Amino acid sequence: MRASHRDDADVIVVGAGPAGASTAHWCASAGLDVLLLDKAAFPRDKVCGDGLTPRAVAELARMGVDTRADDGWIRNEGLRVVAGSRSWELAWPELTTYPGYGMARSRMSLDHRLVQHAQASGAKLVDRTRVAGALTDDRTGRVVGVTAQPLDGRGRADGPAATYRAPVVVAADGVSSRFATTLGITRRDDRPMGTAVRTYFRTEGTSRHEDAFMESHLELWDGAPGESNLLPGYGWIFALGDGTANVGLGSVSSTPARQSAVGHDYRALMDAWMRNTPTEWGFTEENQVGPVRGAALPMGFNRSPMYSDGTLLVGDSAGMVSPFNGEGIAYALQAGRVAAEAIAQARTKVSDDARERTLATYSDRMRDDLGGYYTLGRWFVRLIEHPAVMRACVRYGLPRRVVMQFVLKLLSDCYEPRGGDWVDRVIAGLTRVVPRA
């Protein structure tokens, strides 16, 4: 039963990326009427590394998403870490909490599949609709819906503006989150911010075709190592199993102000890296598919509160990208699930106060699970901002297998939260004793 006969849905989700699609799926699966709004028409592209860690794969499994190989999904066995002329292949850990493999799929395809999955669960998608702001109750100031503008195929206004009403609105509209901004929920200046650029290369006939490992490059040079400058960033190469590889680089700063002060031209850094890759990789202009595109990565819960007056923030809207590795998909999918549980439980309450307290449990649960980990991530970023520290870690830490196993579990957020081996217990213990982000 809806809170009001005037409502168009039980919940409105603004943005149909992984966070929004997950929220819509779980809400619809709980029997709620869901309206999913997005300014684009699917399929559409998003800037991303396209890699899915075991943590993300576990969320897809919970959702019941079909990830068969014959349906275009590719599994990877682990992470290959490359530093200079050395490399180490580290298999994903065997855990009870997560699967022992990761996956890769382009965001063009992944997001479309997730939206279709949400629709199959019962959510109603309204695409080519830009949400302009919130509808609020004149008496309480609580959000009770959204104002929206239909768009044509070129993103221009197409017809009169519309309003949609619901007792709960979920903001899943990305790093800029226009919806949250209109409510005065702004980004924090004390949280890390990353920047990433990526493109695609055809890999048929090259040594990069169907690689079983996700590859991370910790040393990028603008020429031959030892004869040039160390570039400030890290690179990745993820085979997608469709004859292409996602290739990109990124960097992270402890605050947005520090990121602005550094002022790197990341596309130029990408060009420098590509010019000095081995010929057999085939990363040439002739093999490049599409332009180099960039995006900001909001990290460590950089927008708060995550719940306020009828609005929940999920995914990039709340700054849920990991400071350790730049991954956001796993946390976006998780946030959608946790948000939906809070929304569904709130529907069972008989008083306004009880409903509000139940919706607020969403923020508590996300901070309980990720707050300590994100705090460790902030400290990690402050350390690696210093080139001397980064060089020391690469030179003295990487050659030690036990250190690499620890780093893999920590950076990928793939460890047993309870039990497991000594590495799991150390990481879990650290996340519990540090302040929650």
Q: Left if phi > 0, otherwise alpha if psi is -120 to 50, otherwise beta: which for 365?
A: alpha
| Tens digit of each residue's pLDDT (9 = 90 or more) over 98-153 | 999 999 999 999 999 999 999 999 999 999 999 999 999 999 999 999 999 999 99
Where are the extended beta strands (E) located within 240-363? 244-253, 288-298, 307-308, 311-313
- Sign for the pseudo-dihedral over CA of 28, 34, 37, 41: positive
CATH no. for 11-73+105-188+300-377: 3.50.50.60
- Structural tokens at position 394: 């690469």
* 314 pLDDT more than 60: yes
* 39 pLDDT more than 90: yes
Whether residue 233 contacts residue 269, with contact meaning beta carbons closer than 8 Å, is answered with: yes
Task: Tell me the average pLDDT across 335-352.
Answer: 97
Whether residue 412 contacts residue 55, with contact meaning beta carbons closer than 8 Å, is answered with: yes
Cβ-Cβ contacts under 8 Å for 356 (sequence gap 6 or more): 346
CA pair distance 345, 28, nearest whole angstrom: 13
Compute CA 210 distance to the chain's CA centroid, rounded to the nearest angstrom.
Answer: 24
Q: Are strands 78-83 and 162-165 parallel, antiparallel or unpaired?
A: unpaired
Closest CA to 196 of 46, 300, 38: 46
- 51 burial (CB, 10 Å; 0-12 / 13-18 / 19+) is buried
- Sign for the pseudo-dihedral over CA of 267, 322, 58, 364: negative
* 87 pLDDT more than 50: yes
pLDDT confidence of residue 86 = 82
Helix (H) or strand (E) holding 410: helix 401-412
Query: Which position has the higher pLDDT, 285 or 222?
Result: 285
Q: Are strands 34-37 and 86-91 parallel, antiparallel or unpaired?
A: unpaired
pLDDT confidence of residue 264 = 73
**Domain coordinates in residue numbering, the chain:** 11-73+105-188+300-377, 193-298, 386-433
Query: Which position has the higher pLDDT, 370 or 257?
Result: 370
Q: Which CA distances in Å does 343 have to 101, 117, 134, 196? A: 31, 20, 18, 33
pLDDT-derived band at 1, boundaries 50, 70, 90: very low
CA pair distance 235, 218, nearest whole angstrom: 7
Task: Tell me the average pLDDT across 233-260.
Answer: 87
Q: Which amino acid type is present at position 77?
A: E
Cβ-Cβ contacts under 8 Å for 134 (sequence gap 6 or more): 143, 145, 146, 147, 169, 179, 182, 183, 311
pLDDT confidence of residue 287 = 95
Whether residue 294 contacts residue 151, with contact meaning beta carbons closer than 8 Å, is answered with: no
Percentage above 70 pLDDT, the chain: 93
- Structural tokens at position 399: 């050659």
Helix (H) or strand (E) holding 403: helix 401-412
Using a CB cutoff of 8 Å and minimum separation of 24, what contacts does 65-68 make?
Answer: 65/113, 65/114, 65/117, 67/103
Q: What is the DSSP letter of 411?
A: H
CA pair distance 192, 323, nearest whole angstrom: 7
Q: What is the DSSP letter of 183?
A: T
Closest CA to 47 of 104, 102, 108: 108
CA pair distance 428, 406, nearest whole angstrom: 12
Task: Tell me the average pLDDT across 362-387.
Answer: 92
Average pLDDT, the chain: 91
Q: pTM (2 decimals)?
A: 0.95
